[in-house]
Structure 1
C-alpha cells in the first residue's frame, strides 16, 4: 500500500515543485469567410505576471480587471508582438478581438481578414519566453480540414506549415 501511495504522491509533488509552462495557439483558416481565426490559451497567472512586468502595472488583474480596456490594450499589444504570422510570404496584421477566462487559463482571440487561401504559413511564437526559460508553445493549424501541429521549446520560435 505504501508503494502505491508513494507512486501517486511523488508525481503530484513533482508538478508543484517543478511547474510546467505551456501555451496553445490554434490557427484555423475559414475559407467561407476568407479569414484566419486565431485563439491562444495561456495560463492566466503566467500571462498576468508577464503583463505586470512588461507594462509596469503591479496591480493589474486580468481575471477581475478594474479597467477592462486597459487589460485589452495590454493583451493586444503583447500578443501581436509575440505572435507573428506570414501567409504565402505575406506578413499578416493580427486583429485582437478580446479575451475570456476559463478556469486557470486566459483565451485570447484574434483574426486576420481577407485570406482567401493558404498554402504556407510561417509562424513566429515566443509567448512567455522572456518570463519562462522552460516555456513550451504548442501550435495547431487547420486548413481545409487538414490539421498540422508542432511544439516549440524555448528558445525555438519559428514554425512553418505547408498545405
Structure 2
C-alpha cells in the first residue's frame, strides 16, 4: 500500500513540471499600398539565444543590460540561413526592420520591397530545428484577403501557398 501511495504522489508531482513547447509563428501579409510583403516572426527568447550562442560561439544575454552589441547582426545572419522565401517562384532577400522583446518572446520584423502582386509564396523554415528536434514553425499568411497557413517541422521544413 505504501508503494502505491508513493507512486501516486510521485506522479502527481510530475504533473506540475513545466512542459516545454517549441513553436514559432511567422505572419506574412502583402501590403498593396506600400507594395511590400511584411513578416513578423516570433520565437521564444531562450530558444533563439541558445541556438545563436551555439551556432556562432556567442554570448548574447538577450533582453538584459549585458546584451551583446552585435545581436541584431547575429539575428539577421541566423534568419537568413534558416528562413528563406520565394514569391511567385522568385527568391527574395528581406530587410531586417528590427526586433522587439515581449516577456519571453522576441518578435522579428522583416520586409520585402517592390512586390506588386503575390500569386504564390514558398517558405523554407528550419529556424531552431537543429537544436530543438520538436520545434514546430507555423506560417500564417493573408494575401489578397485570403488566409492560408503552413505547419512546418524538422522533417517537413518547406511548403507552398498559392493564391
- Whether TM exceeds 0.5 here: the answer is yes
Instruction: Say whether the 8 Å CA contact 1:41–1:105 is kept in structure 2.
Output: yes
Instruction: Give how far 1:62 is off.
Output: 1.8
Higher Cα radius of gyration: 2
Instruction: Say whether the 8 Å CA contact 1:65–1:71 is kept in structure 2.
Output: no
TM-score (norm 2): 0.87
- 1:101 is paired with a residue whose SS is strand
Write the deviation string for residues 77-101 of structure 1: whole angstroms up to 9, x where unpaired: 1111111000111101111111010
- Number of aligned positions between the proteins: 153
Write the deviation string for residues 117-140 of structure 1: whole angstroms up to 9, x where unpaired: 000111000000101010000000
Partner of 1:142: 142
Instruction: Say whether the 8 Å CA contact 1:129–1:155 is kept in structure 2.
Output: no
Superposed CA RMSD = 1.9
Write the deviation string for residues 28-54 of structure 1: whole angstroms up to 9, x where unpaired: 110111100011100000011011111
Moved over 2 A (4+): 9-14, 65-69
Partner of 1:3: none
Partner of 1:73: 73
Match runs of 1:10-21 below 5 Å: 13=16, 16=18, 18-21=19-22
